[in-house]
Chains A and B, each alone.
Chain A
Amino acid sequence: MTALLEFDRVGRRFTTPRGPIKAVDDVSFSVFPGDVICLVGESGCGKTTTGKMVTGLVRPTSGRVLFEGRDIWAMPEREFKTYRKAVQIVHQDPYASLNPVHTVYQTLSAPLLHHKLAHGREEAMTQIVRLLQIVELTPPQDFLEKYPHQLSGGQRQRVSVARALTLNPRLIVADEAVSMVDVSIRVSLLNMLLRLRSELGVTFIFITHDLGVAKHFAAGGRIGVMYLGRIVELQPATQLIHSPLHPYTKALLAAVPEADPDLTRNKERVKLRSLEIPSLLHLPSGCTFHPRCPLYENGLCDVERPELAAVGEQRAVACHVVARELGQATTEGSSVAAGSLREGGVAR
């Protein structure tokens, strides 16, 4: 089966006044139809840039982004347009991503009319009513003529989702799509997105900094943890939460406070050697996590950069020490390249 979307050693450099930085470095993964993959990480880890490269909004400076096996930046323009239609994004901030002087009807009809998926106002209207029902803005008539400022944060985000759905996309990138709305509303938004996944068969790349949200959304899918531009661990969601491999993932999971006083106060902590996140301008040598890593081995981790390597069925980690230990335990080769990961697909 060809992957719907594949990253093949993708990197993106940016030039800043203070020097060049690698926002994304050598990232490889594949997404198959119906998959869900959550990318988690702290600010500056490259998750948003990755999302933008998936949607073709940012062009990689190295590597290839393949859509159904074809390099999107080497496609003829017509094909590129088809890809653009098939891959949509929902942005983080529904206050910024909706045009304040357009009504909901205008926002949703524009792509339909532009791409000739609807001929004329009436056809557009029928489709928009259906879309608003899908995103649970009902009755739709109440929302058509509303401007963004007349909607709550949660409602705006639903309009953003409806807009992403206008072109019947096959893949949606949701970049922190639920982070800006209140807790009480967040769940219903998440559940709505999950419904799209099961009912419309939309494939999702879900970007978040919240591991709890990732666990909920990626149930049945995978979670990838990013650190300073690289994926350091990629595993099926439940497995990643319950048996994390990379020391960074372990530290994150141990650090997350939970809404249960007894549990959260007695959680085992992971002691890092340093709290400071290195600057992207001066990345540490070898493994970029080595200055903070509790498993650090002198002469190995600060010299050689670990690749994201398969360490068993659908599990991959970029850590010398963990890969070595697991490699010995399972007697499997520890340096399998991204290739076998691509074949791995996902448990569904």
Chain B
Amino acid sequence: MSTSMPSPAVAESPFAYPDAVLSVRDLWVEYRAYRGMVQAVRGVSFDLRKGESLALIGESGSGKTTLSLALIRLLTRSALVRRGTMTYRRRDGKEISVLSLSPDELRRFRWKECAMVFQSALNSLNPVLKVWDQMYDTIKVHEPMSKQEARERALERLRLVQLDAERVLNSYPHELSGGMRQRVLLAMALLLNPQILLLDEPTTALDILTQRSIIDLLRRLKETLGFSTIFISHDLSLAAELADRVATIYAGQVVEIGEVRATFYRPCHPYTLGLMRAVPSLTASDSEMTSIPGSPPDLIDLPPGCKFQPRCGYATEQCTASQPELYAVGPHHGAACFNWQVLSREHEDAGKP
């Protein structure tokens, strides 16, 4: 494949990791709309480490789906990648610039290097094709092998996601339950052994017990196959379950990124804190639940300074005047807030380690 590129940004960022399989730097994505440009992704930088699972959390309209589509170059035509680099490291160590792949290279990159599982399991399967036909199509295009070999690969993958492989292979999507369809999609995504798996709301719309089985399955698969995952969710509890690291997205920016325990127990951005306080807890004694006032900003006409400032209880004059950058607030923990120390002190007062 093509151009390997030295990325000076990697060395500079405090959140860069030497074992990254994917490095995103200063990525900007916009959509053309009637009223102007929708700034969906605004200067996002992060590393995805080998074998880790990174959760992108945020409300609807925060830009998390756009970000993931940009990673696999599936943006619609009205979208424009204004700036940024995405560097992918292949298993053989070769570096690839994802944004400059030719259509042919891109086809090889998808599925084999990076696969995606979309939000709605029913809509992303072709209703008039049997599971086998859909799996064979995928294999055929990406990795030439005999039909018999392909069939064995498909069966093996279906067994991996704990399905009755023979039966499912000969089924139409409508013959499968929601949980089974989600497993089929996972099996398909893993057909060509990708290094990176993108999951968009992998358990939304599934019932509690099915959701639990998918969560447990994802954890097991990650352990046995060692791929890296980026998963998008508005559900914080899913991040708490599955993520090694969590990135909070607000108005198209990463406003906080850190290891899962640090982010959950010592959030240093008021938005992350707000999200945590908005989730009803089941076992904890009646904790005070509060919502975040206001609503997410208009991505065409953004407020000045920090984009969260109009909804933030910690906002000061500085926040309207300028935009905070991602500060190092702990080991491998960054937060884009001028007042992160205030939040940090509050955690200490609350007696959390």
Contacts and interface: CB of A to CB of B under 8 A. Distances in A.
Contacts of A252: 208-209
A213 B207 CA distance: 15
A184 interface: yes
Nearest to A217: B280
Given A258-B240, A259-B236, A264-B241, A187 B212 contact: no
Contacts of A144: none
B327 to A, nearest CB: 23
A152 interface: yes
A212 B281 contact: yes
Nearest to A260: B240
Contact of B213 (A187, A212, A275): A275
B240 A261 contact: yes
Contacts of A260: 240, 264, 281, 284
B11 interface: no
Interface string A175-195: 000000011111111110000
Contacts of B284: 260, 263
A211 interface: yes
Interface string B182-214: 000000000000000000000000011111110
Contacts of A241: 282-283
Kindly name the residue among A183, A188, A275 whose own CB sees the greatest number of chain B CB atoms within 10 A: A183
A333 B211 CA distance: 38
Given A186-B291, A277-B177, A258 B281 contact: yes
Contacts of A216: 280, 289
Given A187-B289, A188-B291, A260-B281, A255 B211 contact: yes
Interface in B266-291: 274-284, 286, 289-291
Contacts of B293: 188
Contacts of A265: 240-241
Nearest to B292: A184
B295 A152 contact: yes
A154 B264 CA distance: 26
Contacts of A187: 277-278, 280, 289-291
B220 interface: no
A320 interface: no
A188 B261 CA distance: 27
A300 interface: no
B215 interface: yes
Interface string B57-69: 0011000000000
Interface in A142-200: 152, 154, 182-191
A68 interface: no
Contact of B207 (A42, A152, A212): A42
Contacts of B207: 42-43, 209, 277
Contacts of B260: 261
B261 A182 contact: no
Given A187-B291, A188-B291, A276 B177 contact: yes
Contacts of A262: 261
Interface in A107-123: none
B84 interface: no
Contact of A257 (B237, B276, B277, B280): B237
Kindly name the residue among B238, B264, B283 whose own CB sees the greatest number of chain A CB atoms within 10 A: B283
Contact of B278 (A42, A186, A263, A276): A186
Interface in B230-257: 234-241
A134 interface: no
B351 to A, nearest CB: 16
Given A259-B281, A261-B264, A182 B209 contact: no
Interface residues on A, range: 35 or more
A290 interface: no
A281 interface: no
Interface string B158-192: 00000000000000000001010000000000000
A264 B242 CA distance: 10
A182 B282 contact: no
Interface string B20-37: 000000000000000000
Given A42-B208, A275-B209, A185 B295 contact: yes
A252 B260 CA distance: 24
Contacts of B60: 182
A253 to B, nearest CB: 7
B208 A209 contact: yes
Given A212-B282, A256-B282, A258-B281, A183 B208 contact: no
A255 B60 CA distance: 25
A308 B114 CA distance: 51
A174 to B, nearest CB: 15
Kindly name the residue among A252, A257, A262 whose own CB sees the greatest number of chain B CB atoms within 10 A: A257
Nearest to A219: B286
B208 A259 contact: no
A213 B280 contact: yes
Contacts of A210: 280
A191 B48 CA distance: 38
A257 B240 contact: yes
B209 A259 contact: no
Contacts of B277: 187
A303 interface: no
B236 A183 contact: yes
Contacts of B289: 187, 190-191, 216
A74 interface: no
Contacts of B282: 211-212, 215, 241, 253, 256, 258
A-B pairs with the 9 shortest C-beta distances? A255-B212, A212-B280, A187-B291, A42-B207, A257-B237, A188-B291, A184-B292, A259-B236, A216-B280
20 contacts: A42-B207, A42-B208, A183-B275, A187-B277, A187-B280, A209-B207, A212-B279, A255-B211, A256-B208, A257-B215, A257-B237, A258-B281, A258-B283, A259-B239, A260-B240, A260-B264, A261-B241, A262-B261, A263-B283, A263-B284
Given A253-B282, A275-B179, 12 more contacts: A183-B59, A183-B235, A212-B279, A213-B280, A256-B282, A258-B240, A259-B276, A261-B241, A263-B283, A264-B241, A275-B209, A277-B177
